[in-house]
Chain A
Amino acid sequence: MKSKIMQYLPASLYLTLIYLFFYIPIIILIIYSFNKAQYSLLWHGFSLRWYEELFADTDLWIAVWHSLVLGFFAATAAMCIGSLAAVSLYRYAFKGRQLLYGMVFILILTPDIVMGISLLILFSFVKISLGFWSLLLAHITFCIPFVVVTVYSRMASFDEYIFEAAKDLGANDVLIFRRIIIPLLWPAMLAGWLLSFTLSVDDVIISYFVTGPGFEILPLKIYSMVRLGVKPEINALCSVTFVLTLLLVIISQVALRKKP
């Protein structure tokens, strides 16, 4: 028994250290979000002052709303375009198939900053004013490849004979798509949607270039707040988002476990 503990000890110590590295910054922010003092790192007593300020900050809530709207539309459009692309990439033989596949991969690997400036140049050439539409087009563009990859890898696990059987039974492409592909693919499409939504809501770099004065989104609002210096309100915001994500994860885990 003792030797078993000794065998696992180094590994568990190491894992603990890395997890501490991941979580300590967040835990510290949560603790300081309840601190009375504004500048000091010393504990000045418990207070909910920063939460009150956070909930009273209307600009911030507008930015949250903008981010959610943008994320919703970007993820939905990216899911539709990306899923169609993945299905055709998988099912059809056509000229330029390798090229299309290659372009999707290159788009994933393109550094955000290069995508940001190139879209900025595009929008200023075709005179699309910077704001909601420029952000939406940019977000759809960087989400599409992630949907394609997610849906494509799911399709690769299908039994090919399903399509042949459907065809033999007289189904055309649209019917196959509606009756076979969509019902089998929706978990992957949903995963693609969720991935796109998170990418969109969290993106700083690309949005930074294509944003306009009329439509402020949350990450850029946070960026401008953070650059101005230490603001305990941000600690409160971080705690709220962290607790919300934790709740979502727990709910989804419980929901998934209940299903057989």
Chain B
Amino acid sequence: MKNENGLKYFSLSVIWIWLIIFALLPFLLVSIVSFLSHDENHLIRLPFTLAHYIDLNNAIYLKIFEKSFYLAGLCTIICLILGYPFAYAIARMENHFKSLFILLIIIPFWTSSLIRTYSMITILKPKGIINSVLLWLGIIDKPLALLYSDIAVVIGLIYNLLPFMVLPLLTNIERLDNRLLDAARDLGANRFTTFRKITLPLTMPGIISGSILVFLPAMTIFYIPDLLGGSKSILLGNLIQNQFLVTQNWPLGSAISIVFTLLLGFLLFIYWRTMRGKEHGNLI
């Protein structure tokens, strides 16, 4: 009987120890560091202080928080508007085509996301594709300053994150019961009513999962604003990265991360509360 429990205790202790050392402990350390004082020479030192949290109440930081939430939200909404009809069209295909088209979404994402972001530079440049086409069509008479602006950042984010919206939506729409749509139509609902009353509520889990998977990374992929944005396009990710690797203010960086994590936790909590009782799971 010794073998019986051996495997169970072995696997459980391995995963618990790993998670405690490399997930829980580091997060506790971040929380502790965020209350320590900043020191030029030793990165951190005692005494404990709330100074960094109070510093965060500064207009500059608040502005970055606000802007990050705004741009990430904008990116999420555009991804949803672009992604929903796209996912819907693919989900309604015959199985044979469907897997091919899904594969076609995934293939570009196996090449480095950095390189794909870099390729956006060639497209958004003053002499790049978008400007050339618009000039040729006569829509504009001089190149638009797309690159190194917030617009470029949002386009870059959408390009990188759209599949994370499409894939959860796709699995959700695939499972939609066609009989419900037929029934609604038989009972005299027009297309819009059917969509609003049946399709939309039933695909809400997909919409929410997709939005979470787009919204969370959008605020923290620091290399996209770094490559495509101007000097003013600093998002939370860049701010945290700066505190750790440039100005070496670890306590302030930690405090920003903690506030950010708490805000995200709050959003996820709301999600969990609204989803409870409904069909749950399939977050990933």
Interface residues of A (CB under 8 A from B): 11, 14-15, 18-19, 21-26, 28-29, 32, 41, 81, 84-85, 87-88, 91-92, 94, 100, 103-105, 107-115, 117-122, 124-125, 137-138, 140-141, 144, 149, 172-174, 177, 198, 202, 204-205, 208-209, 218-219, 222-223, 226-227, 230, 234, 237-238, 241-242, 245-246, 249, 253
Contacts and interface: CB of A to CB of B under 8 A. Distances in A.
Contact of A122 (B16, B22, B85): B22
User: Which secondary structure dominates chain B's binding surface?
Assistant: helix
A173 B6 contact: yes
B15 A84 contact: yes
Interface string B233-274: 000110011001100001001100100110010001000000
Interface stretch (B25-33, B47-55, B58-66, B190-198): B25-33
B261 A15 contact: no
Contact of A112 (B111, B121, B220, B260): B220
A138 B236 CA distance: 22
Contacts of A226: 114-115, 117-118, 227
B119 A108 contact: no
B112 A202 contact: yes
A117 B244 contact: yes
Given A112-B220, A246-B107, 16 more contacts: A15-B101, A21-B159, A22-B105, A22-B108, A23-B108, A25-B122, A41-B128, A85-B15, A103-B23, A107-B19, A114-B257, A117-B253, A125-B29, A174-B3, A174-B6, A241-B115
Centre residue among A22, A92, A120 by max chain B CB count within 10 A: A22
A168 to B, nearest CB: 14
A81 B18 contact: yes
Nearest to A209: B244
A129 B104 CA distance: 41
B119 A172 contact: no
B29 A118 contact: yes
Interface string B6-41: 111011101110110011111101100100000000
A174 B1 CA distance: 11
A85 B16 CA distance: 9
B212 A15 contact: no
Interface of B: 3-8, 10-12, 14-16, 18-19, 22-27, 29-30, 33, 43, 82, 85-86, 89-90, 101, 103-105, 107-108, 110-123, 125, 127-129, 159, 162, 212, 216-217, 219-223, 226-227, 236-237, 240-241, 244-245, 250, 253-254, 257, 260-261, 264, 268, 283-284
A238 B30 contact: no
A23 B107 CA distance: 10
Nearest to B3: A172
B7 A174 contact: yes
A173 B22 contact: no
B108 A26 contact: yes
13 contacts: A11-B85, A26-B119, A81-B18, A88-B8, A114-B257, A117-B253, A121-B29, A122-B22, A140-B22, A172-B3, A173-B3, A174-B3, A238-B112
B244 A120 contact: yes
Contacts of B12: 85, 88, 92, 94, 100
| Chain A residues touching B, majority SS | helix
B86 A15 contact: yes
Given A121-B250, A122-B29, A222 B86 contact: no
Contacts of B222: 113, 205
A110 to B, nearest CB: 8
A29 B117 CA distance: 11
B112 A219 contact: yes
Contacts of A245: 107, 110-111
A114 B89 contact: no
A111 B220 contact: yes
A108 B264 CA distance: 13
Contacts of A138: 22
Residue from the set A24, A112, A114 with the largest chain B CB neighbour count within 10 Å: A114
Given A87-B11, A117-B244, A208-B241, A24 B123 contact: yes
A241 to B, nearest CB: 5
Contacts of B27: 114, 118
A172 B107 contact: no
Nearest to B17: A81
A103 B110 contact: no
A219 B114 contact: yes
Given A117-B240, A137-B22, A25 B15 contact: no
Contacts of A29: 115, 119, 122
A29 B268 CA distance: 38
B45 to A, nearest CB: 14
Q: Ordered nearest first, which 10 A-B pairs have the shortest CB separation?
A: A118-B26, A84-B11, A25-B119, A85-B15, A122-B26, A245-B110, A113-B220, A141-B22, A238-B115, A88-B11
